[in-house]
Structure 1
C-alpha cells in the first residue's frame, strides 16, 4: 500500500496533467457534437472506424489512449497497478488506477488509526491535523465524525505521521474527480473547497459510460475488503493472501470453530474490521498503551473521554507533579517485576542457558537501571498463564487466549515450547485449575473436531509446564 501511494505521489503531476488533458479533450468534442451525444461520438482516444479525422466536425482524435499515457509518462504506472500483462491500455485504466490508489489510501489510514471503515470512508480532504505537544512533539491526528457507540460530529484519531501520504494522494484524486463530476462543456466549474471533498469519491469522469445515472449527492457504497483487494487486485499478490496449512493450524488453535470458508488454498476472507481489531490487539499486547487510551482511540465512549485521555489529545490531564509521579511509579513497579525474573521462581523450559540470555540485561541490585530498562522497553515482562513472555513482538499464536504454543503442545509428539517463555513456579495452582477445565471440555468435545484438537494442544502444554516445574530443583 505504501508503495502504491508513493508511486502515485511520485507521478502526481503527470497524472493530473494527463487527467485534465483527457477532460478537456472530452469537453472539446462534446461542444463540437452537441447534436450527437453518443458515447462513441465524443470519445477522443480512438481512430474513427469511418475514417473521419474531424476536419469538418471539429472533433479531435488522439488515437489509442495508450499513446497519450505514454506521452505523459504514466503508461507503465497504469499497467503496473491496473492491467494484467499484455492487456490493452484504455482510458478506463486511468479511472481504475485512481480508484485503486484511493482504496490503498483507505486501507492505509485504517491500519494506522483504528477507525471503523464507515468513519474513514467519510473523512474530508481537510481531515489531517498536526498538533505539537511539549512532551511528545508533533502528533498526527485525523479529524472526522463517529456515530456508532459514541456520537460525535467532531472527533480525532491519533495516527502515524506516514498517514500524510495517504491523505495527500486521496485528496489529489478527490480533487480530480470533483473536476470530472463537474464536467459541463458550456460552463466554467467553480473552485472546490477542501471541506466539500470526501477522500473517497465516485468515479464519475466523462469517459465513464454510466456517469449520467450517478448523483454526486449520494455517497458511494462501502465495498468489502475482498472486493477491494481480492483475486483481481493489483495491490497485493493473491498468492500471498492464500491460506496455508500452517495458517489454518494456527487459526484453529486460537478459534477451533472456524467456518468452512477457511480452507487451505482459499483467499483469507479478510474484512475491514480486522484492520481495526489487529491494531487494538497489538496495542494491548505491547503493554505500552493504556486501556483508557485504547478506548479513546477506538471511540467506544463519549467525547468526555478526550479530557481523561489528555489535553490536546496527547497526555493524561493530571496535575503535573501527579502525572510525573504516576509514570515514575508505573515504571518502578515494572522494574521490580523485572528483577524477579532472575530468581529461581522463573524457569526456562530450554534450560539455564536460555534463561541467562533472556535476563542478561537485568541487575537485581540496581533498581534505577531496571526502571530505565522498563522505560526504554529493552526488557519485557508480559504476564501469561504459564508465567512471563519476554518477547518484544506481539504474539501471533494467541498467547493470552491459548497456551498451545507457549508450552509446546501445538505439535503432537514434539515438545517445543516458545523460546521467549519463562515458567513461573507460582502459577502451578492456576495451571492445575486450567487442566481441570480443559479435561471437562475435552470430555464433551466431538472427536476429530478442531475444538478438540485445540483443547488437546493446550492440555499438552499444561502437562509440559508441570513436568518442567516438577523436575526443577525446589526453591
Structure 2
C-alpha cells in the first residue's frame, strides 16, 4: 500500500501488464494480465458484457464495480416492488433488515425493518414483503460484505468505515474496491446519494419500455393527470416512486383487497388482507404512509371505473331511464369530481359476474357467487333484476361458462330440493342477462 495521497506506480496494479519494466522479481508482486483474462478464467466475462453493455475490449476491473452497483440497484428495485417503501427508506436498510416471523396462524411472514423518512423517532417500522425478497437481500448482503471487507483492508480508510463492520451496516453503501476512486476514503458517516433509476436502464429492453396505446390507456386510468412526458411511442420515464405506486395499484386491483371489505369496516376476508390492514395483528404494524397511498390510489382507480359506467358498454335491465338515474352524478370528464363521490360513498362500484353492482350497501343475496337476485331469476313470474346492477356484455363468456356448470349440476340435482331451486333461479338469471344485452 502507498501513503494516502501518493500516486501509485503503474507496477502497483496486478490486473495489467506493467509498462515500467517491473516484473515482480524484486517486489514479489504477481501480475495477472488484463482483467478480461481473469474474467474469462472465472467465467464472468459474458455476464459482465451482458449487463454492463461493455465489449471485451472495454471491460476493465472497474467494470466489476459497475456490475456490483447494478446488483445493489436491482435489489433495491425488487424490495420497493414488494414492500411499498419509499426509495429513501429502502436505501437506508441495514444488512439485517429481513426478518421472518413464524406465526401459528399464517405461517412464515417476511418483514423488512427500517426507519421511516417522515417519523425520525420510528426506527422500527415494518413492511410486509414477499418471501422472494430473501433472494434480493441475500445478493445485496454479498455485495455489502465484500465492500466492507475491502474497506477494512485499506489502512488509509476513513475512521467511520470501521464502524460499518457490525451486522447493522447499510445494505447499500459506497464502492470500496481497491480500484475505486473514492469509496474507501469517503466519510461513511454520510450516506451516498440515491442514483436515478434511469442509470439501471441496461436491465431493460428499450423496446419493451416503449409506451403502447394500451399502456397509455391503462396509465391514464390509474393517473388521470399524466404529464406530457408520457406519450405513445416514447420510452417510459422510470422513477423509483412508480414502483411504490404500482404496488398500491396492483394491490387494489388484485381482488385480494376488495372495496367490499372496506364496507365491512376492514374485516379480514383473506390472509393478505389481514397482513395489510391488521394494526398490531400478528404483531405486524404497517407503515402508515403506505396505507395512505393505498387508500388514495384505491379511490383514483374507483373514480376511473365509475366514469366508465356512463359509457354505452353498460346497460340496466330496467332500461335507459334507470341507468341514467344510476350515473346521473358521474361526470365522464371531471375525474376529480368522481373521485370525491367515491370518497364520500355517494357512488359505488363492485364487480359481479353479470357486470357491476352500484349499491352502496352490502348485498344480502351474495351477488358474487350467486346471480339469482342480480338477474331476477329468483322471481318465478315477471323477472325482477336488482335495481342497482348494470350488465356488462363483456362478461358473456364468463356467464356462458357458468351456464354450462349450472346445466351439469342440474342434471344430477334432486327434484324439488333447495339446491335445484337455486340452480334453476340462476339459470333464469343467465337467460334474463342474455336477453337484455341482445337488446343493446
Place the TM-score, normalised by the shorter chain, in its bin.
Answer: 0.5 to 0.7
Match of 2:173 in 1: 201
Corresponding residue for 2:281?
Answer: 310
Q: Which runs of 5+ in 2 are unaligned?
A: 269-275, 287-361, 377-384, 411-417, 424-429
Partner of 2:66: 96
- Give the superposition deviation at 1:140: 0.9
Say if 2:48 and 2:67, in contact at 8 Å, map to a contact too. Answer: yes
1:173-196 CA deviation, whole Å, 9 max, x = no partner?
101111122232599x97965533
Secondary structure of the residue aligned to 1:54 is: coil
Change (3 A) 1:152 1:139: same
* Residue 197 of structure 2 corresponds to residue 221 of structure 1: no
1:131 and 2:101 aligned: yes
Question: What are the Cα deviations for residues 358-412 of structure 1, in whole angstroms up to 9, with x where unaligned?
Answer: 5666799659x99xxxxxxxxxxxxxxxxxxxxxxxxxxxxxxxxxxxxxxxxxx
* Aligned-pair CA distance for 1:309: 4.4
How many pairs align? 318
> Take 2:182 and 2:173, find their aligned partners in 1: how far apart are those partners?
15
Note the C-alpha offset of 1:117: 0.9
Q: 1:39 to 1:138 in 2, by over 3 A?
A: farther
Asked whether the equivalents of residues 124 and 194 of structure 1 are also in contact (C-alpha less than 8 Å), the reply is no
Could you tell me whether the CA contact under 8 Å between 2:72 and 2:139 is conserved in 1? yes
Tell me the CA shift for residue 310 of structure 1: 0.3
Q: Which residue of 2 aligns with 1:285?
A: 253
| Alignment correspondent of 2:52 | 82
- Give the corresponding residue for 1:399: none
Q: Show the counterpart of 1:274.
A: 242
**Contact conserved, 1:122 with 1:199, CA < 8 A, in 2?**
yes
The whole-number CA distance in structure 1 between the counterparts of 2:394 and 2:87 is 44
CA distance in 2: counterparts of 1:206 and 1:162, whole angstroms:
32
Measured at CA, do residues 39 and 51 of structure 1 come closer, stay the same or move farther in structure 2, by a change above 3 Å?
Answer: closer
How many Å separate the matches in 2 of 1:333 and 1:360? Answer: 25
**Equivalences for 1:17-416 in 2 at 5 Å?**
30=1, 37-38=7-8, 40-148=10-118, 152-184=122-154, 193-211=165-183, 214-227=186-199, 229-230=200-201, 233=202, 235-252=203-220, 255=223, 257-289=225-257, 308-313=279-284, 335=366, 337-340=368-371, 343-344=375-376, 345=385, 347-349=391-393, 355-357=399-401
Deviations 1:29-69 (A, max 9, x none): x26x9996326452111112233212234433211011222
Measure how far apart 1:343 and its partner are. 2.0
CA distance in 2, matches of 1:55, 1:182: 28
Structure 1 residue matching 2:369: 3-state secondary structure: helix
CA distance in 1 between counterparts of 2:395 and 2:127 reads 45
In the alignment, structure 1 segments of 5+ residues that lack a partner are 1-29, 295-304, 316-330, 371-421, 426-466
Measure how far apart 1:207 and its partner are: 0.1
* Contact 1:133–1:314, Cα closer than 8 Å, also in 2: no
Mapping for residues 440-455 of structure 1, pairs under 5 Å: none
How far does residue 99 in structure 1 lie from its aligned partner after superposition? 0.6
Determine helix, strand or coil for the equivalent of 2:279.
helix
Look up the match of 1:471: 439
Q: Secondary structure at the match of 1:239?
A: coil
Q: Following the alignment from structure 1 to structure 2, what is the Cα–Cα distance between the partners of residues 205 and 103?
A: 17
For residues 83 and 218 of structure 1, what CA distance do their matches in structure 2 show? 31
- Larger RCO of the pair (alpha carbons < 8 Å, separation 6+): 1
CA distance 1:98–1:353, shift in 2 (3 Å) = closer
Decide whether the 8 Å contact of 2:86 with 2:244 is kept in 1: yes
Aligned partner of 1:448 in structure 2 is none
**How many Å apart are 1:277 and its aligned residue?**
1.2
Query: Does the C-alpha gap of structure 1 residues 184 and 256 become closer, same or farther in structure 2, counting only changes over 3 Å?
Result: closer
> How far apart, in 1, do the equivalents of 2:49 and 2:243 lie?
28
- Which secondary structure state, in structure 1, belongs to the residue aligned with residue 229 of structure 2? coil
Distance in 1 between the 2:128 and 2:73 partners?
A: 20
